[in-house]
Structure 1
Amino acid sequence: MIGDDLIARILREGERRADEVEVFYARGTSVSAEIKKGILGTAEESEAWSMAIRTVRDGRIGSSSTGDPDRWKECLEAALASGRLATPQQWGGFPKPAEMAGTASSSDPDIVVAIEDAAGMVDALLAGAAEHPVEVVGGSADLARSYIAVANTNGVAYGMDRTVAAVSLEAIREQSTGYEFDASPFRADIDARSVGEEAAALAARSLGGSEVATGRYDVVLSPVAAASILGQVILPALSGRNVKAGRSFLADKVGEQVFDETLSVYDDPFAPGLGSTAWDAEGTPTRRLVFVEQGVLRRFAYDLKTGYRYGEGSTGSAVRSGGDTPGIGFHNLFIDGPRVKEPGDERAVWIHDVVGAHTANPFSGDFSVEISNPFWIEGGDLVEPIRTAMFAGNAFEMLRAIGGLGNDARHVGRLTIPSIRLNNQQIIGK
């Protein structure tokens, strides 16, 4: 392949001028079919190519990226130049070849990246939405196949295939809206008709909601709402870089009970999912990492740069997007625990999604968000819609004592999470 040949050439050239060189390479094809005014609108096919180069000399790390394979020499020169300006740091070297602890589950041979396949998924979305008296205002179906590789001058040369199938639909009925989505590496996981039907049902059933008075209520966060809030707070708190910089609420709490004793948080890179991989974005073998075990904090996540700087070593937690430099992240993160009682059995405010989660304070855990598609839930059923309101609180405090986890865990990006019942929470209404 042209990518493999080019990578080898860059490594040979770079090794003459630096102590170490790393190349991260990605190429892919994708199709996207969009819904416009309730029907299939535009459908586009595209190709992408990107490469990122890092060089190390005397502990100085340089980096550059390009989207043009013919400009690889300029990219290498730019990486070397940025390295000369970098501050030296403690550095133990790029990874060497190593045995993997497991295999990735991130590619589906049955996915066909073709416009007609994406258009068929759109038809299914619209068929599902037609089950309710709503207007479809947007949505899409996407299919993609990519190949990524990482190689370095220490002999690492890993490559893997990835696939993605994704759908979404937004519907409206008068002043009420509903939105649903799904994404997976596997086409069989995607039920486009159900996604369309669920989005339309949310719009139709949310119409004419009652006001809720400001006060404290039991709340049930759907997996989508829980992921929106906790993803903005918990993930940054587990980053070793934030911990060492004093920007994590969990710093200095290893071995302490930080969450409810029923909760565990772990990263399983070998589970089927969008982030499944046997090696991270720097070529370090991945492994299952337990960050919180039955409420007790066990560890943090590190990439090479942060691990070397603080004497911790990498946990195989480096991630990156396209030509970006690697950073600390997660592959398939699970927030999990035993299901003792359904969280929606007793009356509570059920929240499908939230708006404004990005404003949550990742250090303190404080948040204030607008809630979307709220209902009163009782006996496991959504019994009455509620007009929009605000939900405010502290993510770390609310996870210290939860009222139950649901049997409805779902993937939201790289996070897998069930619905969560929280008792005595602040709702700001009329």
Structure 2
Amino acid sequence: MELIDAILRAGAAKADEVEVYISEGESVSADLKRDRIENAGGSKGFGIGIRVVVGGRIGVSSTASPKDWEACLAAALASASLAHPQEWGGLPGPAPLPDAPQINDASLRLDAGTARSICMEMLEGAAEHDAAVTGGSASLARGKVTIANTSGILYEQERTSTGCSLECIHERSTGFEFDASPFMDLDPRHVGEQAAFFAEHGADAGEIETGDYDLVLSPVALSQFLDYVLEPALSGRNVHAGRSWLAGKLGETCIGEEISVFDDPSRRGLGSTRFDAEGVPARKITFFDHGVLAHYAYDLRTAYRYGQESTGSAVRAGPGGAPAIGVHTMVIDGPRDTVDDDRAVYVNDIVGAHTANPLTGDFSVELSNATWIEGGEFGEPVRSAMFAGNVFDLLGAVAAIGREERLVGSAVLPALRLNKQRLIGK
């Protein structure tokens, strides 16, 4: 608190407004090389981000050293002097915050032995199939963010996270699986079993003819399309700059009429929060309501520039740099049903989603660990196939939304069934 007070007092003497963002964390991890623990250790991190506003000019700077805060403040002021002025309505003041989502596991202990045990459980699961482990990892982390400004905000939030992953190979076929959570509720054995299963299963893969097929997108595959196409398209900055297919479409039906898409920071997830990275109270934002585009996402800077209101959508990867527009916990909802009773190609993951065009929604990706599925059971694996199309058309062709959900990054997602999608095979 003394550090924050010193920065705010010194900054207020030279700037109209000052914001301080402090991120501190601690973690332990263990890494596998093949079936042995290669290394295990811990790390600590600390960072200060300072943002100043002078006559509508915004400057930012950061440092990992608390004793260098004065130089950091000077750098932020210098960057503001070089910035172009913009419309600015002020940093937010104190406001009621929503109820806290469960993102902090008080029982979590940062112990390298626990990380090692998670790795050993993954190896036990992998032993259920004929596949060799090539690598993997386990991690436990605890962190805290604090944000304060000259408008009177002082918020802090603690969170924990756990994660594990494993990669296996059988002949020339590979398999990968992971799990992540804010709590100590990972299922490492399942991670190992699934990674080894897909590696062994894929070794007998057959070719698929070019044609139209019913697909089941796993939550992992679906998340790739959301990360690289849908989220950027919902950004108010991209919309107003003409870099989004959704620009000018508020009130229009843009995806399937039974699908709703929203950001719900109160849902349990790795990005769940009570406030965004600028101190604006986080709240549920419905982007698509039964297929109709209802909102775009805004941070303060973009909202002021275009005469809008912040949606509490500012995020930071760390204290360095300025906040950016993002989502906290993306959710897709609608009528739930089984997605794999009837025969379809199950797409476990995709490769190349980063090449998709966020302006148009067009994509061309390679299927990874694809296999036929029917009656909830995996059948013949598919060697390789390309999947090309448009993400917005894809979300308009959803035939069913799976009943179960999975936490994938900053999203809670079901599997989706898509009918008559074009695959390019042999």
TM-score range, shorter chain: over 0.9
> How far 1:280 moved relative to its partner?
0.5
Q: How does 1:20-419 map to 2 (within 5 A)?
A: 20-188=17-185, 190-322=186-318, 323-339=320-336, 341-419=337-415
3-state SS of the aligned residue for 2:37?
strand
3-state SS of the aligned residue for 1:204?
helix
> How far 1:101 moved relative to its partner?
2.5
Maintained 8 Å contact 1:30/1:113: yes
Name the aligned partner's letter for residue 365 of structure 1: G
What are the Cα deviations for residues 308-347 of structure 1, in whole angstroms up to 9, with x where unaligned? Answer: 11111111110001123101011111012111x3221111
Q: In structure 2, what is the Cα distance between the partners aligned to 1:344 and 1:365?
A: 26
3-state SS of the aligned residue for 2:128?
coil
**Which 5+ residue runs of structure 1 have no aligned equivalent?**
none
Range with bigger deviation, 417-426 or 146-155: 417-426
Maintained 8 Å contact 2:403/2:414: yes
1:11 is aligned to 2:8: yes
> How far 1:169 moved relative to its partner?
0.4
What are the Cα deviations for residues 378-400 of structure 1, in whole angstroms up to 9, with x where unaligned? Answer: 12211111101111111111111
3-state SS of the aligned residue for 1:256?
coil
> How far 1:73 moved relative to its partner?
0.8
3-state SS of the aligned residue for 2:421?
strand
Seq. identity, %: 52
What are the Cα deviations for residues 104-161 of structure 1, in whole angstroms up to 9, with x where unaligned? Answer: 3211101111111111111111111111111000110000001111000111000110
Q: In structure 2, what is the Cα distance between the partners aligned to 1:401 and 1:426?
A: 12
What are the Cα deviations for residues 216-238 of structure 1, in whole angstroms up to 9, with x where unaligned? Answer: 11111111111112221111111
Range with bigger deviation, 148-157 or 222-231: 222-231
> How far 1:50 moved relative to its partner?
0.7
Q: In structure 2, what is the Cα distance between the partners aligned to 1:147 and 1:216?
A: 49
Q: After TM superposition, which residue ranges in structure 1, 4 or more long, deviate above 3 angstroms?
A: none
Q: In structure 1, what is the Cα distance between the partners aligned to 2:334 and 2:228?
A: 20
3-state SS of the aligned residue for 2:404?
coil
Q: In structure 1, what is the Cα distance between the partners aligned to 2:241 and 2:126?
A: 48
What are the Cα deviations for residues 14-48 of structure 1, in whole angstroms up to 9, with x where unaligned? Answer: 00000000010011110110001211110021000
3-state SS of the aligned residue for 1:200?
helix
What are the Cα deviations for residues 233-277 of structure 1, in whole angstroms up to 9, with x where unaligned? Answer: 111111111111111111111111111111110111111111111
Maintained 8 Å contact 2:269/2:411: no
Q: CA RMSD in A?
A: 0.9
Q: In structure 2, what is the Cα distance between the partners aligned to 1:5 and 1:429?
A: 63
Name the aligned partner's letter for residue 129 of structure 2: H
Name the aligned partner's letter for residue 36 of structure 2: I
Q: In structure 2, what is the Cα distance between the partners aligned to 1:105 and 1:263?
A: 26
Normalised to the residue count of structure 1, the TM-score between the two structures is 0.97
Maintained 8 Å contact 2:269/2:412: no
Maintained 8 Å contact 1:223/1:408: no
Name the aligned partner's letter for residue 213 of structure 1: E
3-state SS of the aligned residue for 1:409?
strand
Q: In structure 2, what is the Cα distance between the partners aligned to 1:300 and 1:407?
A: 27
Name the aligned partner's letter for residue 338 of structure 2: E
Q: In structure 2, what is the Cα distance between the partners aligned to 1:353 and 1:124?
A: 23
Q: In structure 1, what is the Cα distance between the partners aligned to 2:399 and 2:392?
A: 15
Normalised to the residue count of structure 2, the TM-score between the two structures is 0.98
> How far 1:102 moved relative to its partner?
2.3
Q: In structure 1, what is the Cα distance between the partners aligned to 2:353 and 2:397?
A: 21
**Which 5+ residue runs of structure 2 have no aligned equivalent?**
none
How many pairs does the alignment contain? 425
3-state SS of the aligned residue for 1:407?
strand
3-state SS of the aligned residue for 2:383?
coil
Name the aligned partner's letter for residue 421 of structure 2: Q
